[in-house]
């Protein structure tokens, strides 16, 4: 099937073809015809499957006729974060190449004056975060009584971030007769209950099991000690063929510490978290996108809305306390059918609980890295795992002898590895583009991503607009 068969006009089909897309994704194939019919949508698909295009494309078709009035947008797209809102704006600009439609992006960290100027001219599409939109409304700079199409994107993230009261207030300012498109990465009971407030007789569209992970991402789990996590991360960066990677931390204050530690060991890295100014965030993203800096240490602000084509790796320096965040984090790689690799570093009793919750959510165990074994207090399935060969911790500082039987000997001794060997690893440099002994795929996982070599920008032509602002 091609895009023209979904009911889109020739201009839209041409714009899509110009971008190199040949066939719609499942969420696009199922959503676009119903959006064009005027139906409300309750849609769910795992991250990286094209949800944004599933509503931007038919919206452009619907808005092709008509004209916007000053301060009266004709459609509204609500997104939970600046990055995601900017990503949607980027998609709109790309797909509307052959249409004369206007757009305004209302996000924090950007001049009110510039945004007011855009609103005063009249916009067909208004893309905003809830807080900044309410700021403009309270100043009398925007009216929402002419909105005909409302999109609530990443509704589950809105719920997690506490934005639902703002969203409810905004929806109360809209005309009751409108089309509402409600999209979420998951359709939990809470999300379905929430959607009842916004949609009317919606067409429910699900194209993936709830909280499933993409088959294109090879997942790995490594156990270490809390004090050895940084060394474990450096070991993985040196042994993996890392072209570019996002490294997630749970706490903002740990991000700068990790960046400093990596730089001390000759790695190049930048930080990205919600406490940074918008200009600093854009500068960090730009340097990462351009390939000037291969590693980005981020909070969950980057777990959604960050679309870097050809991202080769994701590392969870901290196991996410919310199991669903794991799905979104590793979804930054292995996008659009490409392959990627995700590693999670676990340590301590809390991580045992978090890993167990993640495995329950995704419905499968995360494979242990070669030579690694789970701690004694993990699930029974792992404690019974045969250990017929010596296993070493991910930090490379200790090794334990195994009995060769199904039950691990409790008296296994540990010995420290040579400090010279550790120093040698540290001298190996950045870990970028280094060949690794186990570059071949491990049993049961995908082959290393060949498309993650070279320059991302030149290879893919993918330039997110929010990185250019």
Do the beta carbons of residue 185 and residue 45 sit within 8 Å? yes
The pLDDT confidence band at residue 209, using thresholds 50, 70 and 90, is low
Per 3-state DSSP, what percentage of the chain is helix, strand, and coil (rounded to 5)? Answer: 40, 15, 45
Do 230 and 334 sit in the same domain of this protein? yes
Mean pLDDT computed over every residue of the chain = 80
The pLDDT confidence band at residue 375, using thresholds 50, 70 and 90, is low
DSSP type of residue 242 = B
pLDDT in tens, 413-427: 444 444 444 444 444
The pLDDT confidence band at residue 98, using thresholds 50, 70 and 90, is very high
pLDDT at residue 401 is higher than 90: no
Do 161 and 252 sit in the same domain of this protein? no
pLDDT at res. 210: 57
pLDDT at res. 188: 79
pLDDT at res. 374: 65
Do the beta carbons of residue 290 and residue 274 sit within 8 Å? no
Q: Report the distance separating Cα 77 and Cα 105, nearest Å.
A: 10
Do 33 and 50 sit in the same domain of this protein? yes
pLDDT at res. 45: 76
pLDDT at residue 393 is higher than 80: no
Per the domain annotation, does 98 fall within a domain?
yes
CATH of the domain at 430: 3.40.50.300
Which ranges of 346-409 does DSSP label H, i.e. alpha helix? 349-362, 380-383
Region 290-299: mean pLDDT is 91
pLDDT in tens, 214-252: 788 999 999 999 999 999 999 999 999 999 999 999 988
Token reading at 272: 């990205």
Predicted structure pTM score = 0.61
Region 184-190: mean pLDDT is 81
Domain that holds residue 121: 3-209
pLDDT at residue 54 is higher than 90: yes
pLDDT at residue 467 is higher than 50: no
pLDDT at residue 22 is higher than 60: yes
Region 203-210: mean pLDDT is 80
Region 278-293: mean pLDDT is 86
DSSP type of residue 272 = E
pLDDT at res. 413: 41
- Give the dihedral sign, CA 243/244/250/255: positive
Which residue has tokens 């990185």? Answer: 467
Which of these, 235, 277, 271, lies nearest to 254 by C-alpha position? 271
Question: Which phi and psi (to 5°) does residue 392 adopt?
Answer: -125, 150
pLDDT at res. 372: 66
Do 93 and 137 sit in the same domain of this protein? yes
Do 67 and 157 sit in the same domain of this protein? yes
Do 197 and 221 sit in the same domain of this protein? no
pLDDT at residue 126 is higher than 90: yes
pLDDT in tens, 349-366: 899 999 999 999 888 999
Do the beta carbons of residue 240 and residue 313 sit within 8 Å? yes
pLDDT at residue 20 is higher than 90: no
pLDDT at res. 285: 85
Do 171 and 221 sit in the same domain of this protein? no
- The domain total for the chain is 2
The pLDDT confidence band at residue 205, using thresholds 50, 70 and 90, is very high
Long-range pairs for 114-117: beta carbons < 8 A, 24 or more residues apart: 115/141, 116/141
Do 387 and 444 sit in the same domain of this protein? yes
Per the domain annotation, does 407 fall within a domain?
no
Do the beta carbons of residue 323 and residue 361 sit within 8 Å? yes
Q: Report the distance separating Cα 50 and Cα 24, nearest Å.
A: 9
End position of a domain, from candidates 175, 209, 243 = 209
Residue 372 CA, chain-centre distance (Å), reads 27
Region 95-119: mean pLDDT is 92
Do 108 and 24 sit in the same domain of this protein? yes
Do 7 and 141 sit in the same domain of this protein? yes
């Amino acid at each position: 099937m091609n895009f023209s068969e979904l009911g889109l006009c020739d201009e839209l089909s041409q714009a899509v073809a110009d971008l190199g897309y040949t066939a719609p994704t499942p969420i696009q194939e199922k959503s676009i015809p119903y959006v064009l019919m005027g139906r409300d949508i309750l849609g769910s698909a795992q991250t990286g499957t094209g949800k944004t295009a599933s509503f931007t494309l038919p919206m452009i078709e619907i808005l092709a006729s008509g004209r916007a009035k000053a301060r009266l947008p004709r459609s509204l797209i609500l997104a939970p974060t600046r990055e995601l809102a900017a990503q949607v704006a980027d998609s709109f600009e790309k797909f509307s190449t052959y249409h004369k439609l206007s757009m305004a992006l209302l996000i924090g960290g950007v001049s009110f004056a510039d945004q007011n100027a855009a609103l005063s001219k009249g916009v067909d599409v208004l893309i905003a975060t809830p807080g900044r939109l309410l700021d403009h409304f309270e100043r009398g700079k925007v009216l929402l009584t002419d909105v005909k199409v409302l999109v609530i994107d990443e509704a589950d993230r809105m719920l997690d971030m506490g934005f639902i009261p703002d969203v409810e207030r905004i929806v109360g300012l809209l005309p009751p007769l409108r089309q509402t498109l409600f999209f979420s990465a998951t359709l939990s009971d809470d999300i379905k209950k929430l959607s009842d407030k916004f949609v009317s007789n919606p067409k429910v569209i699900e194209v993936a099991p709830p909280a499933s992970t993409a088959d294109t991402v090879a997942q790995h789990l490594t156990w270490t000690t809390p004090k050895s996590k940084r060394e474990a991360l450096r070991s993985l960066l040196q042994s993996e063929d890392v072209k570019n990677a996002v490294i997630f931390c749970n706490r903002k204050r740990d991000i700068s510490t990790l960046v400093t530690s990596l730089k001390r060991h000759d790695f190049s890295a930048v930080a990205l978290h919600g406490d940074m100014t918008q200009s600093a965030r854009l500068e960090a993203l730009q340097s990462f996108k351009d390939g000037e800096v291969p590693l980005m240490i981020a909070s969950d602000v980057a777990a959604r809305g960050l679309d870097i084509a050809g991202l080769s790796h994701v590392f969870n320096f901290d196991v996410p306390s919310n199991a669903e965040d794991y799905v979104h984090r590793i979804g930054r790689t292995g996008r659009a059918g490409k392959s990627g690799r995700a590693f999670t570093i676990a340590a301590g009793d809390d991580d045992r609980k978090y890993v167990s919750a993640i495995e329950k959510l995704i419905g499968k165990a995360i494979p242990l890295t070669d030579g690694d074994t789970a701690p004694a207090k993990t699930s029974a399935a792992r404690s019974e795992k045969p250990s017929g060969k010596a296993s070493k911790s991910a930090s490379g500082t200790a090794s334990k002898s195994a009995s060769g039987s199904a039950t691990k000997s409790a008296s296994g001794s540990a010995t420290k590895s040579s400090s010279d060997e550790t120093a040698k690893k540290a001298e190996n440099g950045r870990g970028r583009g280094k060949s690794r002994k186990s570059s071949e795929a491990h049993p049961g996982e995908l082959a290393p991503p060949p498309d993650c070599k070279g320059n991302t920008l030149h290879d893919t032509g993918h330039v997110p607009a929010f990185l250019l602002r």
